[in-house]
Amino acid sequence: MRRIRLIVSYDGTNYCGWQKQPNGITVEEVLNRAISKLTGEEIEVIGASRTDSGVHAYGNVAVFDTNVRMAADKFAFAINQRLPDDIRIQYSDEVESDWHPRKNDCIKTYTYRILNRKIDIPTERLYAHFCYFNLDVEKMREASGYFIGTHDFTSFCSQKSQASSPIRTVFSLEVLQDEDMITIVVRGDGFLYNMIRIIAGTLIKVGMGVYPPSHITEIMKAKERKFAGQTMPAKGLTLVEIEYI
């Protein structure tokens, strides 16, 4: 038995997230079906990040076990022939039989995109949150520094979270601007349920002048979800990369 690793990209618009569930089609379900057709085996992939409904990915990671002797790098091409246009395997290789995408230490990079202008752009409607308030990017950048480090992120976590601990480490958080597109780039060792979308909502509040950048410290100390900003729509969020260390 061999274990094949996949780097998976997808447009999450038409999917109820990554993880297989009864109320709608998911990325995991589509991958299982495509790989099972290819190998003639009953395949169940294991994903690194269980992205939510509507979230996109450039570089999610998954593994599956197979007895097929195809060269590891050829699996990407063969699977892609059986996938819809909004899911693509970017790369495939073989790993040790006990290698697990969720149990190995890693750094995850996500982006959250905000289209900040008076009128929305239709071609961005599925990939960025539209905000017509004029955001102060410099204040957002100042506020971003308070997230860096190891903290209790209870205030930035949905109450639906099943995480055993609210402690997470954010290695970097940048607020970039290219004309009217603001991109929040976050790198960390892992994230709580809806954590990045809540951080984005909180930074937007700072950009709108609702509270000063230093107020992030008070929100963290409160350890209550109600003190942070709103949970922003999933469409602005993309899993960019998972780097194993």
Summarize the chain as % helix, strand, coil (round to 5).
30, 30, 40
In degrees, rounded to 5, the angle at the alpha carbon of residue 234 between the alpha carbons of residues 230 and 238 is 120
Specify the DSSP element, H or E, that contains 106. strand 106-116
Q: Which of 52, 86, 98, 189 is catalytic?
A: 52
Under 8 Å between Cβ of 190 and 168 = yes
Q: Are strands 149-152 and 237-244 parallel, antiparallel or unpaired?
A: unpaired
Q: Which of 50, 158, 37, 164 is nearest to 102 (CA)?
A: 50
Which segments of 145-230 does DSSP mark as H helices, in order? 195-208, 215-222
Q: Is 52 a catalytic residue?
A: yes
Q: Is 178 helix (H, G, I), strand (E, B) or coil?
A: strand
Annotation-wise, does 193 bind a ligand?
A: no
Active site residues: 52
Residue numbers in the known binding site for substrate are 110
Residue numbers in the known binding site are 110
